[in-house]
Structure 1
């Protein structure tokens, strides 16, 4: 599994949002650009935000073809017995991976989470090994670690506490949570099809539906119980709470084509984690915007043409294949560094419009993006006579150039 980490970025200038949490961070979802942070590198218990890693690994397993959404899972007695949110699974019952994933994502169900961890990892302890290995690959803080798939404390697990894992309780940083959310949304956006659901019955025969712990979901706009917390554009991602962790929340919302990821940890109350999240998101959406610094199909002044072999002409005009956008302060005119280069191997005609002939790197605020330079018109292969004459010209041109340089060096 190859994992491309988000680029290392610096937060915008220091701003005090007076958040009533122990740690917080706000990033833009497509670049990982940090817009705000507060105590973002202190390891803290994340409670059920740990389940984001479980979600990631389940979706990775499905993506790889090892498992399918339709696979049937027979939960263990541990999954049936585990305490906390959930209490949905009965002994001897069987469920699809998709149904269990929905229970984990919507209702933060601990029983469904354990069942999935054991299904994908064979045992939860082996699955936790996968979680910690992935955390290293994603670039988590070296002091961060997981002890289980749910985020429950060791004391909550009782006789099911992992004997082979020596750490006391799961600990990650706010930055870790934002990095994990960044990868989930970038590599597995399908998670939002679960996370955005306000309520759903686990079984059709159930009397009551599972209620999503994320009160800020836009889908709750007509729910009188949660209406005051609803945030337009909010469609994920994961809440968490234990006595040790306090109230935590990794949220994500999109407006005007810009998606933000927010993390708050150790808020003092269930409602407060949403109030503080709103402060974070408001700060991001009110003060930043996506700005195109190079438009799609644009010429680059330093490389308007790229050489080709065996064409009617020796060069072909090129333009950018896509636009290059960065998150900037509203009203800012970003100063960027641009570096264009042809491909290592020069292509031969015929060339078609859209063929990739080079790349351009654009850097802003320690963030670098790369887009392809593509041919803006067709280039036919030159006739044999044209190529012969060009070859003769280049041959004698090289000879005369060599003689001229030799004579120049004599005097």
Structure 2
């Protein structure tokens, strides 16, 4: 009996709810034309917008939910098996690909060591920058001063009071590693060599070279500098192989004409000179016809700088291009002049024979888990997202680039119109695991809006609000039954 009474009570409540819902629905349907179709010809547009708004809201909610969670993490990335690495007879070494900055080989590469005349790469960079910025010109005339004339070691025997152009001195520095020409250029740019050295150390800091410290422009030991021109500190010039490689990368990137100087095999500075300046870099392809040096000539090698002191041993920063790929190598502390080149050849061969640059994702690509982001008050309620640049990795030749793990991070889950194309809303990180290493190799690029979104007019926003209202209301009514 009690059960029957409850059932009758529930039936009455249900009928009452239906009646209320029916009355509300009739009232809204009879009132709606006044609000929605008052503009006459816009009726169909309004109905369409309501439908689109409902669909877009649903899809944006879904997109935002996926955007906030990262997709395949680095631990799900394909694992790269490192090719067998060469055994080099040097104190330190590194092999770097400059466009990605990836390090393909590293041995003791972070240790600060005497770089000898590889120091001159920083002098070359700064002088080339001065020319690029128009502060000096290649044909400017430089008068040799006492400090330059008194330099020891590798030199072209400049005399105080002689005059040469910036270009002549630069070639003497780049080709013959001439200490006197180097100091003459340093004094031209800095006023004094010590002032120029301040510029060198400032540039090292800007470039992010943690171990690099310069005591002079040449790489000579302080004791070998002319008296009266030595620094107050007894701290000698040091630089790691990694820092030398990064410095070479700056030269390659910022002064791509470097090879106009570094590939010169010989140069006659003065007409009176009996013999020309010979390039200390035996690996230049131009030496292939030289009876004594052809064994060292390396196809595609176009720089960069040798170095030698008793403290540093034999050093060489090299760079070569093969099949459109450039590599930068550094060896420090080789035992002989020949050894610095044979070990460099091993290092470059390792890179070129085993690795290549592979595109993992092109610029303006969509990421499946972050295809759109919602937009408030816009003509469109969402905007497509794309990556802002190519994603390239230097990978072993047998590695499939599609094996990269993709991790998405959205900083801005909703934008407000107007929105400019190219607006950053997050980042995407692509990763590969490396066998035997806890640290993956990875590259992060920005996720940006693919197009502009203008702010919607008041009528469109009004219609959209009504559509949202009906959507929510019908949902509530549905839940009553």
What is the TM-score when the length of structure 2 is the normalising length? 0.71
Cα deviation 1:304-339 (Å, max 9, x = unaligned): 456678987555556556532111122123423243
TM-score by length of 1: 0.82
Other-structure match for 1:39 = 108
Which of residues 327, 337, 348 is equivalent to 1:270?
337
Runs of at least 5 residues in structure 2 that lack an aligned partner in the other structure: 1-79, 432-439
SS of the residue aligned with 1:224? coil
1:286 match: 353
- SS of the aligned residue for 2:227 comes to helix
* Higher fraction of helix: 2
Contact 2:85 2:350 in 1 (8 A): no
- Specify which of 211, 214, 219 is matched with residue 151 of structure 1: 219
Contact kept? 1:347, 1:357, Cα under 8 Å: no
Aligned residue number for residue 445 of structure 2 = 370
User: Match of 2:171, SS?
Assistant: helix
1:32 to 1:397, Cα distance in 2 relative to 1, 3 A: same
User: Considering only aligned residues, what root-mean-square deviation do their CA atoms show, in Å?
Assistant: 3.6
Aligned residues of 1:154 and 1:161 also touching (Cα < 8 A): no
2:263 counterpart residue number:
196
Q: Closer, same or farther in 2 for the Cα pair 1:145/1:409, shift >3 Å?
A: farther
5 Å matches for 1:2-401?
17-142=86-211, 144-160=212-228, 162-167=230-235, 169-203=236-270, 206-296=273-363, 298-305=365-372, 313-315=380-382, 317=384, 320=387, 322-333=389-400, 334-339=403-408, 348=418, 356=422, 358=424, 361-364=428-431, 365-370=440-445, 375=450, 387=457, 389-399=459-469
Q: Secondary structure at the match of 1:84?
A: coil
Deviations 1:269-327 (A, max 9, x none): 11110000011111111121111111355433234456678987555556556532111
| Higher RCO (CA 8 Å, separation ≥ 6 residues) | 2
Q: Secondary structure at the match of 1:43?
A: coil
| More moved, 72-81 vs 301-310 | 301-310
CA distance in 1 between partners of 2:128 and 2:204 (Å): 15
Question: Once the 2 structures are TM-superposed, how far is the Cα of residue 389 of structure 1 from its aligned partner?
Answer: 4.6
Give the stretch that moved more between structures: 394-403 or 278-287: 394-403
Find the structure with the greater CA-based Rg. 2
Give the count of matched residue pairs. Answer: 390
Output one character per residue of 1:326-378: Cα deviation in whole Å (capped at 9) or x when no partner.
111221234232437698966759x9xxx5355753333343242675748xx
Distance apart, 1:258 and its partner CA: 1.8
- Cα distance change of structure 1 residues 389 and 262 upon mapping to structure 2, 3 Å threshold: same
The 3 A distance-change label for structure 1 pair 342 and 393 is farther
Deviation readout 1:13-49 (Å, 9 max, x if unpaired): 5965221111111111112211111111222211100
Per mean C-alpha deviation after superposition, the further-off stretch among 233-242 and 213-222 is 213-222
